[in-house]
Structure 1
């Protein structure tokens, strides 16, 4: 496993070794020691998986209370994945990092607690799988507008299809419209 630091401190890319031949491939998708090696002290309590079609954009999501750390991957297909630092006292507040995750490279992205997260589907369909450090809490569920001009996220452009959003995601406010006490506080990078 190769661990790659991103321009956004605390957000890490995990690049596993993929063993393939004419029969297919084998890859270890998770090993706790990888996290320890990267300095991440996390216990996962919930696994989630979604399936979406090309052009679907989900996010940007976070929890106001008990923020979730997430280890995310595209189990099938390809997505463009984004993490945004929304910790109100972070020196990187409002900074974002995006990368392609797909079922060929098997790369995974670690998104620390206190970051908003979203992705859009690049392939015809994608199965998106992720491990969470806190349970989902509907009462704490919140989001930031995916196209917030202050963030300037460079989502991939689809020439033939507009991003498909849920009503909830379409109505999220901009980051500047969120009350500071509705945003998580800065913790360690793990």
Structure 2
């Protein structure tokens, strides 16, 4: 199953429309989408506006790939469960969000090699066409590394971030 999620706050019809059209053109019947407050007339995918957190997690667990907005909850859940995730960040210039923080989020995770990003509809279609290419996703650990914990503790205590190989040591 391909699981698509756009969160619950605002509609993201650009993402849903792209996946719906792709599924129709490729005769895919294995797409389920959590669509939020969308009014787009879906033709080729199964949809629900909202799903509860336990069902959301079950959908991610069952999915071969997750297609999502660049929301932290969607990204972290997919990574924790070791699922391949392709994100399309919402764009403020298109009225999809209040600002472009999702673009910044997507760029940061992509730079770490943890997610795939499609900024435009054509990029998403191209990535969907390549779903059969095996792309293993490393699970994100459920606990923070000791170095990260120390860096956060240092920041809280001093208000500064140290850089360098010994930055986490006090």
TM-score computed with the length of structure 2 as normaliser: 0.28
TM-score computed with the length of structure 1 as normaliser: 0.26
Greater fraction of residues in strand:
1
Q: Which has the larger radius of gyration?
A: 2
User: Which of the pair has the greater relative contact order for Cα pairs under 8 Å at 6+ separation?
Assistant: 1
Greater fraction of residues in helix:
2
